[in-house]
Amino acid sequence: MSSDLTADPKQEAAPQEVPKEGFGRMAADWAADQRVFRGVSWGKTMMWVFILGDAFIFACFILGYLAVRQSITEPWPNTAEIFTLHVGGRPIPLLLIIIMTFLLDSSSGTMALAINAAHRRQRRKCAALLFATVALGLTFVGLQATEWTNLIHEGLRPWQNPWGAPQFGSSFFLLTGFHGLHVSMGILFMANIARKVAMGDLDVGRRGFFTGRRGRYEMVEIMGLYWHFVDLVWVFLFALLYLW
C-alpha cells in the first residue's frame, strides 16, 4: 500500500508558511484572527486611532482659524491687552494664560511619573500622582472658566467682539471650548482610574466600570497617552491664539 494510506489520519497538517513582514503578514494575521499590531494591546491601539482622528479635527479647526486670520479686513484684537491681569494695580499681560499653561504642563509631568510608578507596581505613589494630575487639571479648567466669565462680562460673544474683528469671539470660544471639553472628560476618566488604583482594584483583578477584563496597570499608560495629547494641543493653541 502507498505511504498516503498508511499515514496516521490524526496527524496534524504542516503549518503554512506565514509572511514575515509587510501586507502579507497583516493579511495573515487578520485571516488567523490575530492582532495586527503584535505586542500592542487593543487598548493602546484604539487610543492611538482616537488620537489620530482627534488630531485631524483639531487640525481642521486650527487651519480654519488661520484662514480667518489671513482673510479678514478688520483689525485683530491685541491679545496682550485682552488677556491681562492686574496685580498690585499693575497690568501683567497674559499672566493668567501663562499660569494655565504652567499647570497643564506640570500635569503632564505628574502623569508621566504616574506611568512610571504604574510600571513599577507602586500603587500608592501611582494613585497619589494621578490625583495630583486631576487636581492640576481641575485648576486649569477652573481658571479657564474664570477667563470665559470675565470675557463674557466684558462683551465678548461668538458673534461679536468689542475689541475688533467679530471672528475673534467665535474662534476663541470654539478652540478653547473644544480643548476644555477634552480636559474635562480626561479628568473624569482619570479620577475613576486613580480611585481604582488607590483601592487596589488593579492588583486583585477586580472588575468594574473602565477596569477591563483583568486587573492591569496598562490603563494608566493609555490614559497618559490621551493626557499628553491634550497637553500638546494646548501648546499649539497657546502659540496661535494668545501669542500671535
Q: Average pLDDT of the chain? A: 84
Domains of the chain, residue spans? 41-243
pLDDT tens for 218-242 read 889 999 999 999 999 999 999 999 9
* Residue 157 DSSP SS3: strand
Residue spans of beta strands (DSSP E) within 50-148: 84-87, 90-93
Q: Does residue 154 surpass a pLDDT of 60?
A: yes
Global confidence as pTM: 0.80
In this structure, what are the phi and psi dihedrals at residue 90, rounded to the nearest 5 degrees?
-110, 130
Q: Quick one: 41-243 is in which CATH superfamily? A: Cytochrome c oxidase, subunit III, four-helix bundle (1.20.120.80)
Q: Does residue 13 surpass a pLDDT of 50?
A: no
CB distance 161 to 77 below 8 Å:
yes
Question: How confident is the model at residue 47, as a pLDDT?
Answer: 93
pLDDT tens for 72-89 read 888 888 888 899 887 877
- Give the residue among 221, 203, 202 at the shortest CA–CA distance from 40: 221
Q: What is the DSSP letter of 19?
A: P
pLDDT tens for 155-207 read 999 988 898 888 999 999 999 999 999 999 999 999 999 998 998 877 765 55
Beta bridge partners of 85: 92
